[in-house]
A and B are shown apart, each in its own frame.
Chain A
């Protein structure tokens, strides 16, 4: 296992279309996180899962956004009726869910999916 992977790496869509992104975490990691990063900003927390349970959702996550982690492994993030303001890099991260090393419950980030809404 070489780390957190995300698919696709880039997605261009037209306003109003639905898009779905996938994240494959590091295999033994219990926690999975989604963030959004816009140009010139740091990542903003969207939601996180402990195994298959979605435990927190940011107020940034409107009703058009839904995330799932059905078997506690990979996760999907779907955006319905995309808007131009949804254009951003969507980052996924995973962690063990407990203090495991000198870096604590370190979150390992994937390379992100860059979404462009035309």
Chain B
């Protein structure tokens, strides 16, 4: 079945860039997502990318997709303490349903 992997922890200093990596196995994935989860709050969709794109930029966020290697990354520029959270990569061929698969999440800690 589909599998999504992420490193579990990342620490960066405030003001540095953070890069969170994700690998997936389903070659039919059309949509690839990044979600943020803060303590006590629901998951929040940050951005997504179509599988036919290589890069997407949205303010401080840059998503890079290497479809050949099935590797997705999220770069957060000028990381702030408010960016501390768990970041989930997810992939789906259809934008919803049972094939909407999340990774285990990367806990980002931003040190002052």
A-side interface residues toward B, CB under 8 Å?
3-4, 31, 33, 40-45, 48, 55-58, 91, 93, 95, 103-112
Distance in angstroms between the alpha carbons of A55 and B97 in the assembled complex: 9
B43 and A31 contact, CB distance less than 8 A: no
Other-chain residue from B41, B98, B103 in contact with A45 (beta carbon distance below 8 A): B98
Q: Name B56-109 residues within 8 Å CB distance of A.
A: 88, 90, 95-105
B-side contacts of A106, CB under 8 Å: 45
* Nearest chain B residue, comparing its CB with the CB of A43: B102
Interface residues on B, range: 20 to 34
Distance in angstroms between the alpha carbons of A3 and B42 in the assembled complex: 10
B45 and A42 contact, CB distance less than 8 A: no
A42 and B104 contact, CB distance less than 8 A: yes
A-side contacts of B47, CB under 8 Å: 103
